[in-house]
Structure 1
Amino acid sequence: MSLKAIRITGLILTIILGLIFTLSAFLKLTLNETAIKQAASFGIDARIYQFIGIIEIVSLVLFITPRTGVLGSLLLIAYMGGAIVTHLQHHQPIAMAVAVQIILWLTAYIRFPELRQRLLNKIQ
């Protein structure tokens, strides 16, 4: 795969993730009725849910910014790990959260050569 194709793929995946996390954070920050009901079913009150939305937006901004992208990737990966555990605890489907987690890892691997190099050096 050419360098140009790799960059385009990384950009497209970043845009997709940006849209997903922006929508998710928007629903939390605006206290969307459906989102609040889901949060309540997990035992999370509305105020905490808004704070989670702020954390999500900050992590997303760090992820999108090239200079802080690795940190943002790690924060979003950890965030999705928490979402997966929460869904498992409450017997909710995890397929979507796992898919987003996989896309996050792939995007980080494609976008950040320094992360890719560190991961590959540890494996060898």
Structure 2
Amino acid sequence: MTTAAIDEVPVRSSTPVGVKVGWALSGLAVLFLGTDAGAKLLVPAMMAAYTPPQLKFPTDPGFYRMLGSILALCTTLYAVPRTAVLGALLLTGYLGGAIASHLSAGSPLLSNTLFGLYLGLAVWGGLWLREPRLRALLPFRD
């Protein structure tokens, strides 16, 4: 499907309330992910100390700085409207890795393991509610 074809698809417009909810969801996701990235960048030793040992992550602060840098870049791309879809795709990969890590470590399912899924739903749900072109590309059928 070309962009011209996507532009021709009738888009169900989101209500003003839906758009506001979308921006709120996106804002909460950016706030949480940005805080996590900042903590990994600014206090990596604390992040290493509080990481559950069953995750088997390195205790080297450089590892947490690298994770923080990747997360900060993906979150920044998501926060900028022009690059939000690219940011959402990259965040999906990052959060998928977090889910896999917690699953392999045997972390509690609903709280720790699926937390990345909850964040991913907020990222994509917020973007879908506020971006008409995404609703055209991924419409819900009536």
TM range (shorter): 0.7 to 0.9
Question: Is 1:42 the counterpart of 2:61 in the alignment?
Answer: no
- Name the TM-score, length of structure 2 as normaliser: 0.74
Q: 1:12 aligns with which of 24, 41, 58?
A: 24
Question: Could you list the runs of 5+ residues in structure 1 that have no partner in the other structure?
Answer: none
1:107 aligned partner: 126
Q: Of 52, 55, 68, which aligns to 1:53?
A: 68
Q: Unaligned regions of 5+ residues in structure 2, if any?
A: 1-12
Matched letter for residue 68 of structure 2 = G
Aligned to 1:118: 137
8 Å Cα contact 1:59-1:72 kept in structure 2: yes
In the other structure, the counterpart of 1:27 is 39
Q: Counting helix residues as a fraction of each chain, which structure ranks higher?
A: 1
Q: How does 1:57-68 map to 2 (within 5 A)?
A: 57-68=72-83
Percent identity of paired positions between Structure 1 and Structure 2: 28
SS in 2 for 1:107: helix
TM-fit CA distance, 1:49: 1.8
- Displacement of 1:26 in angstroms is 1.4
**Matched residue, 2:4:** none
Following superposition, the deviation at residue 95 of structure 1 comes to 3.4
**Cα distance, 1:84–1:42 mapped onto 2, change above 3 Å:** same
Q: TM-score, normalised by structure 1?
A: 0.84
Over alpha carbons, which structure has the higher Rg?
2
